[in-house]
A = this chain, B = another copy of it.
Amino acid sequence: MLPALLQTLGTSRIKGAWFTRYWKGLRAVYGENAPPSWARLPGARCRAVEHLTKLEGLQEFEILAGLEEGFFQALAIASEVLEIGAGTALYREGEPSGAVYFMREGRAKLYRSSSGQGPGKARDQILGVVGDGSVLGLASALEGKPQSQGATALTDCVLYAVFRDELVNLMASYPGASLSLARALAARTRELEDLVGDLVFHSAPQRVARMLLDLATEEGRVTKRGVVFQPSLSRQEMAEATGISREALSRSLSRLAQEEILDLTGGKTITILKPAELRART
């Protein structure tokens, strides 16, 4: 591979070179040695927690189940407990990857922004909504590249934050941990593939139906009338998760309400009256 080729095409063989540009921009803001990500989170409180409490908390993570005692001890020492309020950005796209976060409690959205020209024109695409027990920022941390996605808390969250380098060191010492975290990454690739498939193969109403079912699965509870839930996503965000415009989402929902598949009259709460019917629309 000749450098001439890359120069002529203006591309780079290393995928995501695009981010490097971003990163350079951010280095200008944050300086060469970026401060630990959470040190500059506006809504964050870094809580001092006893070692034993941290240890117990970490051992509850399903993805870490079965790992050696020594690993948990080390991870507890390396991690800080972090509390952030709903709406706080945990990290932004293009920012240097400083830490990895284990979500103990709360929900967050992972998203990507279009570098859309002109202010007010930028669009977001939600890549996933994650809850208790997930790992955030792992991929970028392993690659040692800037964040490929943004993460924002949808509800108040409690997280364990671990510095990138410390996690990598831990992974190098505890093979089981690497394997578990690799599995977590594998699960994310599958979810992303699902997303791609959904986007290209299904129509907007179908995607809306699926999105509702997914949300309800995570956030709903069964009642006599159907499945009731208060979505953690605004309509705008639902549209971003579905990959359509806010207006189109609104119309889809109205349509489903009109057909008495949904009940939207409850203010912020949504009731799925006919789950089977909704599923059939997938």
Contact = CB atoms under 8 A, between A and B. Distances in A.
B190 A16 contact: yes
A8 B275 contact: yes
B178 A182 contact: yes
B5 A143 contact: no
21 contacts: A9-B213, A9-B272, A10-B213, A114-B200, A114-B201, A123-B201, A125-B201, A142-B182, A142-B183, A148-B193, A168-B179, A171-B175, A171-B182, A178-B178, A185-B189, A192-B192, A192-B196, A195-B196, A196-B199, A199-B200, A199-B243
Interface of A: 2, 4-6, 8-13, 15-16, 112, 114, 116, 123, 125, 127, 138-140, 142-143, 145, 148-149, 168, 171-176, 178-179, 181-183, 185-197, 199-201, 213-214, 216-218, 220-222, 226-227, 243, 272, 275-276, 279
B5 A221 contact: yes
Nearest to A218: B13
Contact of A139 (B142, B172, B190): B190
Contacts of A193: 112, 127, 148-149, 192
B276 A10 contact: yes
A9 B279 contact: yes
Given A5-B221, A176-B172, A217-B13, A196 B143 contact: no
A63 B176 CA distance: 20
A218 B145 CA distance: 22
A68 B157 CA distance: 40
Copy number in the complex reads 2
A100 B16 CA distance: 25
A180 to B, nearest CB: 9
A221 B2 contact: yes
A243 B198 CA distance: 12
Nearest to A187: B143
A188 B276 CA distance: 35
A125 B112 CA distance: 21
B171 A172 contact: no
Given A182-B178, A182-B181, A227 B143 contact: no
Nearest to A280: B10
Contacts of A199: 196, 199-200, 243
A6 B112 CA distance: 29
A190 B144 CA distance: 12
Contacts of A172: 175-176, 179
Given A9-B220, A112-B196, A172-B176, 9 more contacts: A2-B222, A6-B217, A8-B227, A16-B190, A112-B193, A139-B185, A139-B189, A143-B187, A196-B199
